[in-house]
Structure 1
Amino acid sequence: MKHEPISSAAQPHIDILMTQGYCVVDNVIPAAVVQGLASDLGGCFAATQPSQGPFYGADTVRFGGLLDRSPLSALFVQHPLIVEIVEAILGPWCNNIQLNLTQAIEIRPGAQQQVPHRDQDMWPVSRMLPCDHGAEYLVNVMWPFTEYRPENGSTILWPGSHRRRSEDLIAPDQATSLEIAPGSALLFLGSTLHCGGANRTAAARRGMIVSYALGWLKPYEIQTLVYPPEKARRFTPDLARLVGYQIHRPNLGNVEGRCPSELLGGLQQNGAVDALAAEQIALIEAFHAQRPAC
């Protein structure tokens, strides 16, 4: 990935995110756009059956594939400030980032608190390496459709828990739950302990989570199946790359040895084409430089 200078708009949020494991970016999308997206997804909320299992929770509704359900969702997924912050966090550990998930979530009245967890733990490697290695695998972005408040199930977070990765559970009195308005975004690291809160009100809490991961990981939601070529051809090239139609150097995630973006044009050519990172090119050049001339 190209490491561009970080803007003055992004840097304070990056600093807070890396210090406490989460941050709120206020008023980044007009409330009318949020209302439009929520309206587009209203029928899906009504038609989707409640979740099953002790992790998702019986009184929640969840569905993905949001880029295919509303054209407004791309404005959130590709928000320039949010993407800049995410790339600054994940960029040191990958050649490019990828979209990991888009999921609409409704926490209904009476829903219990979710079990605390770290989202990065879905990848076993995150628990195999020393806790202080510093790598981040994932950044979550929570977009409220309704007001998020502690009493209606706002996300519960444990400040500084990204520095305490060996602790699966931390005392409840060390947690916080924020009030967040539609149009603002809550960002938190995949290494931050968190959970959905209990909804003790008479109204549902609705919102959307968008998450981004290192480009070399298997994503939570298999984007190229959710958005196969016939759908992804309607995306802008940048969005198509973000959902997975992009090779991760060196040569990872190819189709017939070529970048999967070529699928969107029909893959007219054949024959493998290298896509190497700078360090692989340097190693190859060093190897050839030490060989005796023929």
Structure 2
Amino acid sequence: MAYQKQSDTYIRPSNIHKRVQLGKGTTFLPGKKDPSISHLIDHVLEHGYVILPSLFTKEQVDTGNSELARLHSEKTSGPASRGGRNTFEGLQTRRVYALADKSRALDCFPIHETLLKMNDYFLQEHYLLTSYHSVDIGPGERSQEMHTDDGLVHLPRPRPLMGIGTMIALDPFTLTNGATTLIPGSHLWSDSQTPTREAMIPAIMPAGSVVYFLNTIWHSGGANTSSLPRRSLTVQYCQPWIRPTENMTVAMGWEDLDAVPKRLLELLGFSTHDFMGYVDGRSPRAGVEMRKRRLVEWGMKNEEDERKKGAKL
């Protein structure tokens, strides 16, 4: 990081004067605007979202669906893979969290060139993946509560853009199968404006398409009144500064967390804010214990493999 000298004082340079305000709802620091997607960016600036039709190939979609079918059959895919645990997740909705940990077959979805080019404009350099899981809305599911993805951040509007959300359609999104619904232009709203279901429109799109949206826009999962599930992936990105200066949960040894005072563990990040900070859809502490068991199993398997190799020599 470069510093500029003013007399005897060193000051970290600031780009705060370059921030852009969208209506009364959102502020952000624009990044590089790739000419090939400038029309898509302009649509997001005006409406808060854009649909990217058929961004992924049929082969990629087929791979995604077959991989999710495999994960849903695995006992290790987490409790939400068998059905939602609350109305926000959806009681008739199945979710597989921590997809980056569970499958290499799905790696193409978060790193598509178009999505990253869009992020390069709306998010600051070194932005992060903040959530990556499947959303399988089953028949009979009710409409999800209306929300913004930054709703747990209690800052007044206009507020800084915290992140980006995407929904990747592995099935066509239709009027009846639970297509994501949004309120166009609600990223421009002040805190005094209230969302209504009547103002929402469905993101109707074919399989392989993506709806890309700012996390200040009001949206929800739709009701599924059809006889088939609506399969999708949600990939969400956040600003690079939404994290502690020191990565405490990695720096902290996991050998004997019971010896650490509970309050200190919470401060170190072994806690959640509502659902923020979850590990595989569960508490961070449950995630640590799950990981420790896997490491033990991995070590035992390696020892057995070494013994077998030695026996053949």
Normalising TM by the smaller chain, what interval? 0.5 to 0.7
- Residues 1:30 and 2:54 are matched in the alignment: no
TM-score, normalised to structure 1, is 0.67
Q: Does the Cα contact within 8 Å between 2:169 and 2:210 map onto a contact in 1?
A: yes
For residues 158-203 of structure 1, give each alpha carbon's deviation from its aligned partner in whole angstroms, at most 9, with x where no partner exists: 0111111515742222210021112211101110100000000000
- Residues 1:105 and 2:138 are matched in the alignment: no
Q: Does the Cα contact within 8 Å between 1:139 and 1:187 map onto a contact in 2?
A: yes
Secondary structure at 2:173's aligned position in 1? coil
**Equivalent residue, structure 2, for 1:54:** 87
Q: Does the Cα contact within 8 Å between 1:9 and 1:81 map onto a contact in 2?
A: no
For residues 213-242 of structure 1, give each alpha carbon's deviation from its aligned partner in whole angstroms, at most 9, with x where no partner exists: 0112149xx9x88xxxxxxxxxxxxxxxxx
Structure showing greater Rg: 2
Partner Cα separation in structure 1 for residue 238 and residue 158 of structure 2: 19
**Equivalent residue, structure 1, for 2:274:** none
**Equivalent residue, structure 1, for 2:147:** 117
TM-score, normalised to structure 2, is 0.63
Paired residue for 2:221, among 176, 196, 205?
196
**Equivalent residue, structure 2, for 1:74:** 107
**Equivalent residue, structure 2, for 1:20:** 47
Alignment gaps of 5+ in structure 2: 2-29, 75-80, 251-313
CA 1:5/1:214 → structure 2, altered by over 3 Å: closer, same or farther?
closer
CA 1:169/1:54 → structure 2, altered by over 3 Å: closer, same or farther?
farther
Partner Cα separation in structure 1 for residue 68 and residue 121 of structure 2: 31
Mapping 1:145-156, distance limit 5 Å: 145-156=170-181
Secondary structure at 1:120's aligned position in 2? coil
**Equivalent residue, structure 2, for 1:88:** 121
Secondary structure at 1:64's aligned position in 2? coil
Question: Partner amino acid for 1:49?
Answer: R
Partner Cα separation in structure 2 for residue 45 and residue 30 of structure 1: 23
Q: Does the Cα contact within 8 Å between 1:45 and 1:106 map onto a contact in 2?
A: no
Deviation of 1:96 (Å) = 2.1
**Equivalent residue, structure 2, for 1:178:** 203
RMSD (Å), alpha carbons: 2.4
Secondary structure at 1:52's aligned position in 2? coil
Q: Identify which range, 199-208 or 35-44, moves more after superposition.
A: 35-44
Question: Partner amino acid for 2:129?
Answer: L
Secondary structure at 2:123's aligned position in 1? helix
